[in-house]
Structure 1
């Protein structure tokens, strides 16, 4: 009777996962509560998911990934690579596979896709291509790249922890790299040659530009003595193509240069009038070591003691500021905020920010203390006021962040520290060294994944204690026991892929991995090959948008349909099935 009730809880959990009526983490916690109420687990076992090595390691890996992203390393890598792309179609596809896939081997692949998504859309737009041709390959490349190392995917870490909980050895950092690299190379070659032809042109560049390219402001930027722009022309540096900003004018002392703008060599202390989105202006400033208006005032005493924030204000129809310039208003002294940039509808200005007369509907990008911005909230001169959330990269910490990741990989690969200890050590170093602050560390942990793991790991304990895992393994052996272990391994991979296609990869791994271990022990063979098949199956489900988080992430921006994933994902999964079936028994023999 107890086992029937437990099966009911398990089925109810799976149905809720598939229905997608509730968030996955909430479903997991509901299952946890049910297991506690019916006493399938003890209170200590109920909270064991939070202290499980997989949960802690994955949480630390989120912080490590954030450290690389907040130092601007991934973004700069994307910018530099984009400059080198020659062939629009195959060059961009190769960039996606090599760069996005390669980076995913060492940081969370969901974070990689989130960072590269607007980059791919931008490059597609510039080359007149549909982003829907490239976003599924971006997701798939990140998934395949994540299968190369232990830290490339949360599923890898989870299955390794399950193996440890069952008395088996944990996976090593590069233990499954031979199979993972084969999958990555073969899958990458398929994407490079065929994905562009298979995928439809569904997402127009215009629609996606509205989503990912915000208002274009006019601002002033000063060329510093250490800028790589000095002695180069805008044409040579390909500024517009690289950063998606427009240089309207160069102000050199009293001289204004705009007729031969692109062929004029940049000099130290030149003032550039730049138009672009806030994010692109920030990237341009950081990438070329320039000084924005905001950089010039950050050292002022009135801003040092308080949090400096950006806010967007729109001039109201009855504003007393209409018709006056920023300089005439004495904006900074009057409002204790600094005007960084101006967007004026329908007008292109070639003058300094302070000399532009303001009109109804103009948008001002303001910088000031949180108190000063708050004081502007009720000011009738402004129609609306909202904070602008903007990523400010710590580029001076980029090499340090790389070094910390390298240490984590080295300590784990040489088995000097367990992966959990190495990951915690690296996460703490990221915060202590200033690559990321403590608020950013908490903000970048995907708490849904943490609570999903914490809620489902006790489910695995309950299934194990009840004997249902052993019973499921025995029944499967009745059906397949006379067949070779290679056939069972192959069937486990297919079953895991199919189950992951309708559930989360985490839920599938927690349910299927213990069954695989039990089947191997009953057959008297090494459990490692079965675990590897299950791990690769849960990590490489490519046939639906819900099979993996990155697939879901690109679904809406690419305007995709379910069939699009099947067209590209099914051949890839068949290829992966053949590779896994052939190579796993070679690298991890059954006897």
Structure 2
């Protein structure tokens, strides 16, 4: 038990130190537990074969399929159209939208997809982006509790419930607390956001490419209705100073050597030219399939002005791929909601369908997976196992019961929730759940209570990552574009944390009695 405590403390300290990649920390934890004899070799690496890993990896692919097909960009444009210049309306629509998108893909994916659109919308309305980006991140955290797929933490606690002899949480089980939290989060931001959030202009803003097709058409004097489609598009490149293309004769309409791209136009010094011998600095507008355009980013002969992948996701219209992607997601949701197959199987089928039905390529699917997240979860699962197998969970649970008393289950739940919230500001919410989850189960079993309210309390508390910009990647994502400072988060985050702790302590036991 002592060895496990030392490894746990060191891991938390290294996470907080934030100088070592989290994936390496997780691998170090697994290897340390094996080297000290706390777990077997099979247990040390068993986490990487856990169904939770398969489920999370598949969700990354499904999430990217929605983005690649233009669904999230379309949703963002609807936000712009319906805001009608009102700050309050924009906040409500923004937070409702990001919550729904998060429920289908992930917190980080939803924030990353909507962030550029939100910034540009704020600028168009003459408002400060700093009034909207923290609400974007906080709305995503609340939205992660709407359904099972909202965050890997939901999947983890569901597996912990099964390990404790209970039924897993259903697909919509989380909605019972998630929906009130989404509504409460929106209400808090609408009422207190204008006073608690700063009004700042960031040094740099992310590029908005939603109207880029029209701009390119004007620049090169081309019809804009033919430039961007769901399967084909354009990208602007510049001949690099040491390019092998220098001295090569080219002309508009010429097919490139690869055979899959066409030179739509050539400009030199801002002026259109016809047949010419290329020199360094010439701008070429290339047209072809998005897959072929993506290859230009790794071509040393040219400098890509705007990444084709980003242009496609923001500016290309939704086509047949979008309808297919939506159908795949709805099918996955149906399988998860009915429990017809295990969650990992449902997600894996959806991920495979995204590739087989050509919503995305195999390469895009590989690139969409956050391997750092998978390594973090796989490496930390052995620690969760060790906390239980060495009796550490029982010991810590006993200490909490002694400190609080076994007569008041609400106080026990409050103690677990507060510890989870504090730890969640320092390390990832997934790592927090892996550490606190087994302790919550042990507390419940030691006192004869149901593990379900304890585990759901951990889930809600793990989502309350509001107090610092480093608590989650989503918080970090909006830090620069919003021009925030470190202390800006806790002002609005504190009342939201109180809301989440209250829901975890008092509302959760209503739906999952002790």
TM-score (norm 1): 0.77
Within 5 Å, which residues of 2 pair with 1:179-190?
Answer: 179-190=177-188
Across the aligned residues of Structure 1 and Structure 2, the Cα RMSD in angstroms comes to 3.5
Superposed displacement of residue 371, structure 1: 13
Q: Which moved more, 1:574-583 or 1:35-44?
A: 574-583
Name the SS for the 1:450 alignment partner: helix
The partner residue of 2:491 within 552, 567, 572 is 567
Unaligned runs of 5+ in 1: 215-241, 249-271, 299-307, 379-383
Q: Superposed, which structure 2 residues align to 1:496-511 within 5 Å?
A: 496-511=420-435
The answer as to whether partners of 1:245 and 1:275 remain within 8 angstroms in 2 is no
Matched, 1:584 2:487: no
Residue from 354, 357, 364 that aligns with 2:284: 364
Contact 1:156/1:539, CA 8 A, preserved across alignment: no
Kindly state the Cα deviation for residue 387 of structure 1 after the two structures are TM-superposed: 8.3
Within a 5 Å distance, the mapping from 1:34-433 to structure 2 comes to: 34-204=32-202, 207-209=203-205, 211-213=206-208, 243=211, 273=218, 290-292=225-227, 312-314=237-239, 330=251, 333=254, 336=257, 338-340=262-264, 354=274, 361=281, 363-367=283-287, 377=300, 385-386=303-304, 389-391=307-309, 392=312, 395-433=319-357
CA distance in structure 1 between the aligned counterparts of 2:183 and 2:82, rounded to whole angstroms: 21
Q: Deviations over 1:326-364 (max 9, x none)?
A: 9x953655964644456776x6x7xx6749999974533
Which structure's CA Rg is the greater one? 1
Alignment match, 1:11: 9
CA distance in structure 1 between the aligned counterparts of 2:26 and 2:343, rounded to whole angstroms:
25
* Shift of residue 128, structure 1, vs aligned partner: 2.1
Contact 1:73–1:395, Cα closer than 8 Å, also in 2? no
Q: Partners of 1:81 and 1:529 in 2: how far apart? A: 36
Shift in alpha-carbon separation, 1:353–1:439, aligned structure 2, 3 A: same
Tell me, yes or no, if structure 1 residue 27 matches structure 2 residue 22.
Answer: no
Counterpart in the other structure of 1:457? 381
Q: Determine the C-alpha separation between the residues in 2 that align with 1:370 and 1:549.
A: 29
CA distance in structure 2 between the partners assigned to 1:428 and 1:141 by the alignment: 30
SS in 2 for 1:364: strand
| Matched positions, count | 502
Taking the aligned partners of 1:514 and 1:129, their CA distance within structure 2 comes to 46
Cα deviation per residue 1:58-111 (whole Å; 9 max; x = unaligned)? Answer: 111111111111110111111133122212422321221121112112211211
Gaps of 5+ in 2: none
1:527-542 matches, cutoff 5 A = 527-542=451-466
Q: Is the 8 A contact 1:133 1:201 kept in 2?
A: yes
Give how far 1:212 is off: 2.1
Provide Cα deviations, 1:487-533, integer angstroms capped at 9, x if missing partner: 11122112111110011111110111111111111111111111110
How far residue 567 of structure 1 moved from its aligned partner, in angstroms, is 0.7
Quick check: 1:294–1:367 contact (8 Å CA) kept in 2? no
Taking a change above 3 Å as real, the CA distance of residues 37 and 409 of structure 1, as seen in their structure-2 partners, is same
CA distance change for structure 1 residues 521 and 201 in 2, over 3 Å: closer, same or farther?
same
Question: Distance in 2 between the 1:320 and 1:52 partners?
Answer: 50
TM-score, normalised to structure 2's length? 0.88
